[in-house]
């Protein structure tokens, strides 16, 4: 289940990277680089922080193949993706939901405190998007007023609450991932945002 979630997150973030690169009218090389950075950026930071080197995607070529295949898929079917903004939002949201759980699981394997596990999950989910936006000359979503990292934190906290209940751990992973996704979707739909510290 954990490996499947990791691969699904990789696919979602790779496609979101491709969509951003399309918006910026990058060439094929640029599209592939942005897809790769978006998909593995957060996991790379996480692995470096916990001393898990070489980082996971270097040890398993499946990640590289999946990113390339996802990028090719998005390129081939780009004419079918009529609403890039909606598609980008959807894949990005799915990606943060899945990668939050991946980061938490890595933290648990390293026997870290739950708070640190949630932080790792948030970094895993967010940092790839930060790198993507910086390389594409955008202000990273995580630094705007939109609910993004907050959704990861709340989803991560829900995992540690649900795990105390008599529920199968795989189901808990799915529930916590859905919490992240639903919070992000609701926040955007109803324009829920963190308070703005600047006054007019």
Distance between CA 161 and CA 97 in Å, rounded? 17
Task: List the pLDDT tens digit at each of the 200 positions of the chain.
Answer: 778 888 988 998 999 899 899 889 999 999 999 999 999 999 999 999 999 999 999 999 999 999 999 999 998 887 776 566 677 788 889 999 999 999 999 999 999 999 999 999 999 999 999 999 999 999 887 887 668 899 999 999 999 999 999 999 889 988 999 999 999 999 988 888 777 666 55
- pTM of full prediction above 0.85: yes
DSSP assignment of 22-43 equals HHTT--HHHHHHHHHHHHHHHH
CA distances from 177 to 98, 144, 200 (A): 6, 22, 37
């Amino acid at each position: 289940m954990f490996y499947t979630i990791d691969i699904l997150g990789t696919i979602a973030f790779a496609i979101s990277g491709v969509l951003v690169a399309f918006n910026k009218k990058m060439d094929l090389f640029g599209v592939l680089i942005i897809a790769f950075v978006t998909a593995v950026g957060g996991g790379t930071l996480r692995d470096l922080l916990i001393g898990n080197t070489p980082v996971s995607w270097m040890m398993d070529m499946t990640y590289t193949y999946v990113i390339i295949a996802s990028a090719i898929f998005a390129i081939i079917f780009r004419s079918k993706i009529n609403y890039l903004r909606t598609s980008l939002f959807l894949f990005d949201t799915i990606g943060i939901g899945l990668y939050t759980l991946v980061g938490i699981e890595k933290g648990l394997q390293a026997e870290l405190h739950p708070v640190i596990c949630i932080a790792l999950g948030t970094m895993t989910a967010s940092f790839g998007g930060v790198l993507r936006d910086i390389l594409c000359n955008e202000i990273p979503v995580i630094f705007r007023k939109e609910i993004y990292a907050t959704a990861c934190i709340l989803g991560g906290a829900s995992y540690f609450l649900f795990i105390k209940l008599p529920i199968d751990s795989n189901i808990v992973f799915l529930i916590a991932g859905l919490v992240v996704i639903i919070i992000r979707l609701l926040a955007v739909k109803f324009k829920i945002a963190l308070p703005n510290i600047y006054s007019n």
